[in-house]
Each structure stands twice: as C-alpha cells, then as structure tokens.
Amino acid sequence: MTSSAKQILCISFSPIERDARVLRQIHLLSQLGEVTTVGFGETPVGATRHVQVPDGLTTLPQTLLGVAKLAVHAHKAAECSSPAAQWALAHAALLDAPEGGWDLVVANDARVLDLGFRLAGTAPVWADLHEWAPEERTHITSWRLLVAPFMVHLCQTYLHRATLVTTVSHGIVELYRERFGVDAKLMTNAGPYMELPVQASRDDRIRCVHSGAAIGGRGLETMILAFCKLPERFSLDLYLVSAADGGAHLAELRAIAEGVDRIRFHDPVRPDELPATLSGYDLGIFWIPPTHTNARLTLPNKFFDYVQARIGMAIGPSEEMVRELENYGLGIVSKSFDVHDLVASMESLTVEQVNRYKHAAAAAALPLSFDVQTAFVRGALEDMLAD
C-alpha cells in the first residue's frame, strides 16, 4: 500500500467474492483509495489487501456466553463477541492502516456496526444496510427472541454516529427513518451498465429464467409448481447457489421438478457474468411471498440483472419491484402469490409482449445502472475522504 493513497477498510461477514452488492461497493471504493477487505473467502476483485476470516466462524454471539448475554439483554456486553468479530480483533495487527489510521471504514450490515466503529477510531463510517436488520430472520423463533433485540440495540447505538447510512429500497429507507431517526439514503442493488443487445423472440416459446440462492421461504417451490402447470411452450432455467443448509433446499427443488424436462438446473454464474448469461432468455422470474418485512420490501440484485440482460420480468405484487417495473414497463405482475394466479399471469403472454418488455429493459438499462443509481454515494464518499 502507498502512504499517499486514501486507506479504506471494508468489513463484510459474507463470502465477499460472491457478494454482488459488496463487490460493486469495492469497485467504487477502489477508485477513491486502497481497499482492505475483511470477510470470508478469497480476495475479492478490487481489494488491495484481504484479511480472510476463517470459514465456519459465526457472525453473531452464538457461543454459550454470547447467548447468555443476549438472553438477559446485556447487549452492550455482547458487542464484538461473535467468533468472527473476536477473530478480527485478535488479528487487529493485520488491519493496521499506514500511519496508524483509516480514512474511511465501511460496515456492511448491522451485525458489524460494533466492530466497524471499534476499528474506525476517528475515521468516518459508512453503514450499508442490505436489509431491514431488526427482522432479518424473524421467521426463526430463537432469532426473533434473542437476536432481533440485539440488532435493534446496534442500530440505536451506532447508526446515528455513521457519517453515511444507505439501504436497498424506498420502504426500508423509511423504516430506518421512522424507527431510528436515521437519514438513510437509497442505494439500490443496481449492477453496472452492460452493453448487451436485445435478442428478440421469433417463435411462440417463452424461455424463462431465475437466478439467486436456493433459500427456503422465497417461494421457489411455488415457482416450480407453476411451471409444471404452464403450457408446454414455457420453460424455466434456474441458476441457483446452494444456501448455508449444505444444498438441502436445492435438492428439494430438484425433486419437485423431477421428470419435467422444461425445468432445468444449472451451475451458478459469477455476478459479473450473469447478465450476459441471462440475455439469451425471454423473462426473468421472481415471485417471493411477503412472509416477512424484508421479503415484502425486496428490490433484489436479480431485478437489476434482468434489466441489464435486456429481458422482461414476471413478478408478484411486491411493492418495491412493482414500482420500478411499472415505471419502466418491464413486464407483468401477478394478482397474488398463489400458484393459480402465477399461472394466470403468464399463460396468455405473446411474443409481441415479450419483445416489448425486452426493449423497455434496454431503455431502462442506463437509468437503472450502478453508476447512475449511486452517483450521490460517490459524491458523499469523496466529501468524507476530503474531510
């Protein structure tokens, strides 16, 4: 590292080389200084230096002592007590910036806010919240009772101290403002602009695709059942990453689709290669039921991947996605998340409609690209580093 360059520490307790949002973040940060990343997995593209947290370390206080602290709401004592955070602090010498200080620290998600501020010293902190933290996994009873109050504590304690707070959708921006009084800014999951052509459909077959993680609760079973009921001219290709369950849910999905040759499973594709892979299809599919707040207010990576791929979309009545889809005329919305309504929204689609959605995606590709959607973030970061 050169002493004249701004020194930026980016913390994300995720496999960063597969985390599309953090990879885009690093790409931006690397234009402003030298980036040291802390997280799981190999060195991500754009990082000058990477401190690799050992695989298997949990990112919440899931030790016996940590759980006891959460149980009695000793939240201050529970800060930085997750095995991953403890490892990072024990190896703090690896995180020393030249001249003994960072120019900027980035904390990805509420669970690293405590660690981010501990390592920042006097440096400004950018808190990038990838979802509504208090309800990240409230469908799990133990999480709702033990971890959710800790997430609230971290947000209440640290968000007002952050120089910049960003999050992923309008609805979640409002939740952080209403609950914590934080002037959060919208930074969508938009990907970089891609120069890809519209590949017009010329027959009545409609080739559909879904990309993402094979995580329970996202309605993937219902999606497969809907395609089992759709006419033969509809096909579905899936590019799924195995979840932390060791691939158990992915195996369940394969079992549901067994014997239906119109439903095909593929190996996952790197985030930077995904739009080009998707561009050969007609419609991107995402029907996620509003089982919790984050699902209800989702505006995911795949929405923007479909736009950059120049393909149309079929979604459910998810308010954040519907807002953008209808604004740009990108596709169709089902009445509900029931199989019957999903099938009804699709079965009368024509090639002319599909091609119209593809051209609408081409028109939306620039305004819904990373550089346009995050221009204000770059300006804020430049100001933070100048100060």
Mean pLDDT computed over 207-231: 95
Report the pLDDT value the prediction gives residue 138, as an integer from 0 to 100. Answer: 79
Do 170 and 312 lie in a common domain?
no
Report the pLDDT value the prediction gives residue 2, as an integer from 0 to 100. Answer: 52
pLDDT tens track for 33-54:
999 999 999 999 999 999 999 9
pLDDT tens track for 122-147:
999 999 999 999 998 877 888 899 99
Cα-based distances in Å from 72 to 66, 139, 145, 154, 359: 10, 21, 11, 16, 56
Rounded to an integer, what distance in angstroms lies between the CA atom of residue 373 and that of residue 366? 9
Report the pLDDT value the prediction gives residue 141, as an integer from 0 to 100. Answer: 86
Q: With respect to residue 1, please indicate whether it lies within any of the assigned structural domains.
A: no
Do 308 and 213 lie in a common domain?
yes
Q: With respect to residue 15, please indicate whether it lies within any of the assigned structural domains.
A: yes
What's the domain count of the chain? Answer: 2
Do 314 and 381 lie in a common domain?
no
Q: Tell me the CATH number at 236.
A: 3.40.50.2000
Mean pLDDT computed over 78-106: 89
The residue ranges of DSSP E strands in 123-205, in sequence order, are: 125-129, 164-167, 185-186
Cα-based distances in Å from 178 to 162, 305, 318: 17, 30, 21
Report the pLDDT value the prediction gives residue 4, as an integer from 0 to 100. Answer: 82
Do 109 and 152 lie in a common domain?
yes
Q: With respect to residue 197, please indicate whether it lies within any of the assigned structural domains.
A: no
Residue 260 backbone class (left: φ over 0; alpha: ψ -120 to 50; beta: rest): beta
Do 215 and 351 lie in a common domain?
yes
Do 63 and 134 lie in a common domain?
yes
Do 167 and 141 lie in a common domain?
yes
Do 78 and 140 lie in a common domain?
yes
User: Sorting pLDDT into bands at 50, 70 and 90, what band is 324?
Assistant: very high
User: With 60 as the cut, is the pLDDT of residue 252 above it?
Assistant: yes
Instruction: Map tokens 């959708």 to a residue.
Output: 169
User: With 60 as the cut, is the pLDDT of residue 313 above it?
Assistant: yes
User: With 60 as the cut, is the pLDDT of residue 1 above it?
Assistant: no
Mean pLDDT computed over 243-255: 90
* pTM of the entire predicted model: 0.93
Mean of the per-residue pLDDT values for the chain? 95
Question: Mapping DSSP to helix (H, G, I), strand (E, B) and coil, where does residue 48 land?
Answer: coil
Rounded to an integer, what distance in angstroms lies between the CA atom of residue 332 and that of residue 347? 11
Mean pLDDT computed over 322-346: 97
Rounded to an integer, what distance in angstroms lies between the CA atom of residue 312 and that of residue 361? 7
Do 256 and 276 lie in a common domain?
yes
Rounded to an integer, what distance in angstroms lies between the CA atom of residue 37 and that of residue 105? 10
Report the pLDDT value the prediction gives residue 244, as an integer from 0 to 100. Answer: 78
Point out the least confidently predicted range of 65-69, 79-83, 140-144, 289-293: 140-144
Do 103 and 81 lie in a common domain?
yes
Cα torsion for 35, 37, 43, 48, to the nearest 10°? 20
Domain that holds residue 219: 206-364
Report the pLDDT value the prediction gives residue 318, as an integer from 0 to 100. Answer: 97
Report the pLDDT value the prediction gives residue 21, as an integer from 0 to 100. Answer: 96
Do 216 and 326 lie in a common domain?
yes
pLDDT tens track for 285-305:
999 999 999 999 999 999 999
Residue 80 backbone class (left: φ over 0; alpha: ψ -120 to 50; beta: rest): left
